[in-house]
Amino acid sequence: MISVILPVKNEPNLPDFLIRLHTVLEKLNTSYEVIIAMGDREDNWADPPEHPNQRVIKTYGDSLERSILAGFSFSKGELLVVCDVDNYHPVSAIPLMVTRLAQYEMVAGSRFISGGRLNMSPFRTFISKFFRSCARSYGSRLSDPMTGFFGIRKEVIDKVTFKPYIWKVALEIEMKSRPTLYEIPIVPQPRMAGISKSSIKIGLKLMRDMISG
């Protein structure tokens, strides 16, 4: 089974996104579930269209990472995929991600490899490249360590002791478990709604957590 985990906070585009996501997943001809991890501080909730392979869980605290980890805890699949719902991550790439997970323990979307592209403002591009350099200097093999679009085998995360850190979950998993890794190029699309949750403050906390181990 494939478990797709969607951390959600103030995403008015959720209903439309779910229709597109289920359309992609149903073509895989395998069992799957969609877990919507909704933070308890959600104040812009749009009821998603009902689907038999979909459920909503409530998480506590204003933390993207805790939402993802809660999704891991509730998941039933052997393969886990994490994706944002703001249109930034291409759901069309999920079938390739699932295919590669048959050969690799972790598959991550990257804007920095051939075929990928940064699609952000100059300021956010600078921040992404800066923290990319920081993470790689601490031993990360991810070309895009800030990625929030990745797939992982459940057996890998079962061996990881999460803090949880403020820094990106994909980066924490990769640095702690050193899984076999494959990256697929992604070209992020313009956000259809909502705003980015990234900030300088989050980036500085990320650096602190890398230094402290």
Residue with tokens 């008015």: 12
- Pick the range with the lowest mean pLDDT from 26-35, 52-61, 86-95, 121-130: 121-130
Instruction: Report the residue count for the chain.
Output: 213
Boundaries of domain holding 115: 2-212
CATH assignment at residue 15: 3.90.550.10
Q: What are the pLDDT digits (tens) for 60-86?
A: 766 788 889 999 999 999 999 999 988
Return the biggest CA–CA distance within the chain: 45
Total domains in the chain come to 1
Predicted TM-score of the model (pTM): 0.85
Residue 134, judged by CB atoms within 10 A of its CB (0-12, 13-18, 19+), counts as middle
**119: CB partners within 8 A, 6+ apart:** 111, 187, 188, 189, 190
- Pick the range with the lowest mean pLDDT from 34-38, 45-49, 206-210: 206-210
Strand order in the sheet with 79-82: 54-59, 32-39, 2-8, 79-82, 150-153, 106-110, 181-185
Other Cβ atoms less than 10 A from the Cβ of 11: the count is 24
Q: How many CA atoms lie within 13 A of 65 on its CB side?
A: 17
> pLDDT exceeding 70 applies to what percent of the chain?
81
Q: What are the pLDDT digits (tens) for 77-126?
A: 999 999 998 878 889 999 999 999 999 999 999 999 999 887 766 777 77
pLDDT at 41 over 60: yes
In angstroms, the Cα distances linking 92 to 8, 70, 196 are 19, 25, 21
